[in-house]
Amino acid sequence: SGGLRQRIMISMGLMCGPSLMIADEPTTALDVTIQAQILALLVSIQKEFNMGLILITHDLGVVARMADRVAVMYCGQIVETGDVREIFENPLHPYTRGLMDCIPVPGKTERGQELGNIPGIVPTPIGDLWGCPFRNRCHLAAPGCADKDLNITEISPGRTCRCARL
């Protein structure tokens, strides 16, 4: 089963006694019960062995439950980093805002209410990507978004964003 395979891969990764575990999509294609078991296993291993955990996932529910800090990526570039609560409550980058608009919020989202979406087509990651890779889909795009030297900027301690509009 998928859950057993994940447990075996986690065990193999622990054999060298690492101080950091990188879990890339550890719950993808698993049913909800097995997902919860795998996440609980990762938490217990992290605590028992006092190790860092980098969790790579598209599942924002997993991010909300598991992460302390978040790095939001688009087309291979980090576009925003920060404390998980800050990212979910006050997203700065337009892509992050778009992601958060797609999440139903208990008590706020009405039954049948349309969720947000991010219009446009994801650019091909082949070749030179400069500036903000989200600019062609962004409703706030400005000429500075295409600058080759668009760097990630520290907004506050521990909070960064790669956006020409900030």
pLDDT at residue 6, rounded to an integer: 84
Indicate whether this model's pTM tops 0.85. yes
What is the pLDDT confidence band of residue 48, given thresholds at 50, 70 and 90?
A: very high
Residue 11: both structure tokens together: 């065990």
In tens, the pLDDT along 79-138 reads: 999 999 999 999 999 999 999 999 888 888 888 888 889 999 988 877 767 889 999 999
What is the pLDDT confidence band of residue 145, given thresholds at 50, 70 and 90?
A: very high
Arch. (CATH architecture) of 1-67 = 3-Layer(aba) Sandwich (3.40)
Contacts of 41 (CB under 8 A, 6+ apart): 7, 10
Every domain of the chain and the residues it spans: 1-67, 75-104+116-165
Contacts of 112 (CB under 8 A, 6+ apart): none
pLDDT at residue 153, rounded to an integer: 94
